[in-house]
Structures are given as C-alpha cells and as structure tokens.
Amino acid sequence: YEAQGGIVQPGVDQLPGSSADWHTVQNFVSVRDEEAQAVLISDEIPMVQFGDINLGKWQYIAKVEDPFLFSWVMNNYWTSGFPGVKESEFTWSYHLTSTENTSNSFASHFGWASRTPLTALVSPAGTQTNGDRLASTFEIENPNVLLVNATPTEDGSGIVCHLREVDGKKTDVSFEFQGGKSHRIDEVSVLGNVLVEKIDSLSLGPFEVKFVKVSTD
C-alpha cells in the first residue's frame, strides 16, 4: 500500500515496533500475486487491517497470513476516555478495480486518478475551431514515474514538480512539451534551489524522489 512518501509491504518495509495491526493508506492498497491484483482506495476512510481483524494482538512485526483486507469505517478501539459507540450518519465511498497488470505503477495511477477530482474550466466560445479536443503542455512518458505535486515557485518564475519512481527500477525520464513555446528544466532541491541547470532528461533510481523546475526559456 502507499504510505506517506512511498510504498510499503506490511512487515517488510517498516520498522519493528511500528504500527503493525492498523495501517493508514494514502492513495491505494493492493492485494496481488504473480498473475493479477485488486486495488482499493477510499477518500474518506484510510484505515485498514491486513489478513485478519487484529484486535488485541499488538504485533511487534506485522504478519499477514491470509489475503484479506478489512476497512475500518470508524475506529474507537481505545482503552480509556472514549465511549464504546458512535452515533450519527456517515457517508463514504470506495474505488475498486482488478487487473492482470501487477505493477505498482498501475495501482498508483488508479489510486491517484480516483482521488483527484476532475478540474472544470469554462471557456468562452471561439470564432473558429482549431480541431484540437485535447492538449497537454507538459507530459512525462514513463508510466513508473509519478507526478506527486506541481507547485508554482514563490517568485512566479516557474513550477516545481515532485517526481517519484514507483516500480523499483532505474529510469531515465524524458520530458515532452507542446504548444510551441521554448521551455527550460532545472533539477532542484526540495526547497527549489537549483542543483543542475538546463537538463534534457533526469535519472531516477529505484523508488527515488527528485524535484525539477519547469519554466519558459
């Protein structure tokens, strides 16, 4: 499943003694084998348990013996200070799919796309049609590279893009631009400080995170 800043396999990619009975999902949770996977995500209820309803186990290391996933709609499992019941109306939703594609990249793109609302923009009617129904200013062709965030710089000189490799393999990222304008890409730090000027491509190691600044030249 996707945790804060990366992908985690319970009991493997976590520190001993960290939360092993409950897990908080960011953008997807996947149950998979060598042939297929099922991917689940919810906007409203991120807490899940793997393998069993793990009450009173307090595992030091997570042990998932069965391919079961339990979604906790509410959680008041605490020994003091909280009532044993909760009353009110509550609405939640799930996004669920299955596929023969067992990659993290498929699960990541499904989860992020499901949780990202469609942005609507009202445009006035034009005097003529240019024949283009779709357009993309900036595109990353690599399916295993996730655009986590794109934020305008404080001085308004460009956009800082947060990129993450999700399939655990070394990747060279190329950038595609449309629209006729000349663009510049710099590799920057998390604070936006330039590390390498005017790059044409970017190398990402397995699960590595890097930042680039996109601006008009």
Beta bridge partners of 95: 41
The phi, psi pair for 151, rounded to 5°, reads: -125, 130
What's residue 103's pLDDT?
A: 95
Mean pLDDT of 73-95: 78
Mean residue pLDDT across the chain? 87
User: pLDDT at position 77, please?
Assistant: 67
DSSP state of 186: E
C-alpha–C-alpha distance, residues 67 and 187, integer Å: 41
What average pLDDT does this structure show over 6-34? 89
pLDDT of residue 130: 64
User: Which span out of 53-67, 116-130, 170-184, 192-206 was modeled with the highest average pLDDT?
Assistant: 192-206
Query: What per-residue confidence (pLDDT) applies to 151?
Result: 92
**What is the distance between the alpha carbons of residues 81 and 74, in angstroms, rounded to a whole number?**
16
For residue 47, give every residue at least 6 positions away whose Cβ sits within 8 Å of its Cβ, in sequence order, or none: 22, 23, 24, 25, 71, 72, 75
Residue 98 has pLDDT above 70, yes or no: yes
Write down the pTM of the prediction.
0.80
139 in the Ramachandran plot: left (φ > 0), alpha (ψ -120 to 50) or beta? beta
What per-residue confidence (pLDDT) applies to 179?
Answer: 65
- Cα angle: 138, vertex 139, 142; to 5 degrees: 155
Average pLDDT estimate for 42-49: 92
CATH class, domain 138-216, is mainly beta
* Cα distance from N-terminal residue to C-terminal residue, the chain: 39
Handedness of CA 81, 86, 91, 95 (dihedral sign): positive
What digits encode the pLDDT tens for the residues 132-179?
666 677 788 899 999 999 999 888 889 999 999 999 999 999 887 776
| Domain edges within the chain | 1-116, 138-216
Q: Which of 60, 62, 69, 63 is nearest to 28 (CA)?
A: 69
